[in-house]
Amino acid sequence: MKKLFVLIVIAGTFFVYSCGGSENKPVVAENDATASQNSEASKENPAYDPERGKGKFTHVDVSDKLDPAMAKTGEKVAGLKCSGCHRMTDEKLVGPGWKGVSERHKPEWIMNFITNTDEMIDKDPKLQAQLELCLVRMPNQSLTDEDARGIYEFMRKNDGVK
Ligand code: HEC
């Protein structure tokens, strides 16, 4: 019975979704606690993994400790390519503030998004919701893998990793 309901909801949201109606969030059971933030998304578009996003990064090695050299590279690149739209606080500028961003998303999601920006905005429900608020589509910044990894490390530093 529940399954049937979920299926109907999924079918329904596909139609709504294509018109950008991200408020229409189906209520579905989800027992993986870590996926709870993204549970609506995975049910809406089963081919898209909202934890990992879409792109070439399937696993990013992250140590518990900060890599200061990497973070420094990231800080430099972010200063050039990102700071025009993102603050390091929770304040929105053109895009959302970066405070807590490394806790909100898995490293794979962030690395995939910042290197494969267009496809992720098209597919990721959270990004589409942000797009509705920000009214600007984040442009692809042509980052190298090294830049992207550095920026992720810089985000961790900003979120208090030492
Ligand atoms: C022209 C403005 C602009 C620039 C430049 C920009 N962004 Fe964004 N960014 C946005 C917007 C707007 C969003 C919200 C999603 C959307 O509307 O596309 C966003 C969303 C994000 C998010 C998701 C935030 C969250 O809280 O979930 C990350 C991560 C991000 N950007 C990283 C970057 C990085 C890294 C760079 C630089 C390499 C960058 N952005 C450059 C505008 C920008």
Domains of the chain, start order: 2-44 (no CATH), 68-158 (1.10.760.10)
User: pLDDT of 57-74, one tens digit each?
Assistant: 999 999 999 999 999 999
Q: Which residues of 30-62 are buried (b: 16+ CB within 10 A; e: fewer)?
A: eeeeeeeebbbbbbbbeebbbebbbbebeebeb
Q: Which amino acid is at 70?
A: M
Residue 52 has pLDDT above 90, yes or no: yes
Average pLDDT for 78-90: 98
Ligand 1, atom 6: nearest CA belongs to which residue? Answer: 82
> Which of 123, 138, 159 is the best mutation target for the ligand 1 pocket, counting ligand atoms within 8 Å of the beta carbon and taking the most?
138
What is the reported pTM? Answer: 0.79
With a 6 Å cutoff on the Cβ, whether 76 touches ligand 1 is no
**C-alpha 35: how far from its chain's center?**
13
Cα 67 from Cα 12, distance rounded (Å): 46
Res 47: pLDDT: 85
Cα 101 from Cα 91, distance rounded (Å): 12
Tokens of 132: 């509705």
Cα 39 from Cα 29, distance rounded (Å): 8
Res 160: pLDDT: 98
With a 6 Å cutoff on the Cβ, whether 74 touches ligand 1 is no
Nearest to 35, CA basis, from 49, 22, 48, 16: 49
Ligand 1 mean position to 123 CA, how many Å?
Answer: 15
Nearest to 102, CA basis, from 111, 93, 94: 111
Res 45: pLDDT: 64
Average pLDDT for 111-132: 97
Q: Which amino acid is at 13?
A: T
> Please, are residues 143 and 69 in contact by the beta-carbon 8 Å criterion?
no
Q: Which atom of ligand 1 is nearest to the CA of 135?
A: 17
User: pLDDT of 10-46, one tens digit each?
Assistant: 444 444 433 333 344 444 444 444 444 555 555 566 6
